[in-house]
Amino acid sequence: MKRPANPSPTLAAALWPATVASPGQAVRAALLVLAGAALLTVSARAQIPFWPVPVTMQTFVVLVLGMAYGPALGVASVAAYLAAGAAGLPVFAGTPEKGIGLAYMLGPTGGYLAGFIAAAWVAGRLAQLGWDRRVAGTVAAMVAGNLLIYACGLLWLGAVIGWDKPLLKVGMLLFLPGDALKIALAAALLPAVWRWRR
């Protein structure tokens, strides 16, 4: 995707402006990244257990963070979350019961976790184009992000549990009703915050 010449400010930048070349800018970025990683950890705990991948609020948080923060801080937040999980902290859905650290990340959910990075980046880029300021744009950005997460997740899932399994059913179709609700929630939330900001 071509970088816009003058990207629109993200929601985070509009609500908490960063002063160029200010020492406080690094502190602001660090606080936003830590807050994003914490939100991802909390969203992993709000789950409905399914096999082989549980239903959580993480895709909602990943995509909303990407749009609210922009690509750099959105990806940094997801990377910080994944780094905490790789280090053995129980931040993932089902941890520590289903394992921790790299062993967990190499399990059935590993592709979805990797997809979070790509989805946060794309959602952030689309937000820089102003997609998150309207309902239709937010829906389109959420759908694009979800498709990336599913693509990565299903490819990895097939490699882990076998291509002879009903991958589309267990790895995507069961999640679509919940995703529709998350998309509707984001489409109501983000444009509303922008309207309030104006």
Structural domain contains residue 5: no
- Residue 6's pLDDT band (cuts 50, 70, 90): low
Q: Which residues does residue 55 pair with via DSSP β-bridges, in sequence order?
A: 48
Q: What is the pLDDT of residues 114-169, one digit of tens each?
A: 999 999 999 999 999 999 999 999 999 999 999 999 999 999 999 999 888 889 99
Structural domain contains residue 136: yes
Structural domain contains residue 1: no
CATH number, domain with residue 65 = 1.10.1760.20
Domain span holding position 99: 11-197
- How many domains are contained in the chain? 1
Residue 110's nearest CA partner among 156, 168, 172 is 156
pLDDT at residue number 170: 86
Structural domain contains residue 4: no
Amino acid occupying residue 160:
V
Identify the H or E element spanning 95: none
Q: What is the pLDDT of residues 178-188, one digit of tens each?
A: 899 999 999 99
Q: What is the pLDDT of residues 143-152, one digit of tens each?
A: 999 999 999 9
Bin 21: left if φ > 0, else alpha if -120 < ψ < 50, else beta: left
- Rounded CA Rg of the chain: 17
Structural domain contains residue 95: yes
- Residue 55's pLDDT band (cuts 50, 70, 90): confident
pLDDT at residue number 116: 97
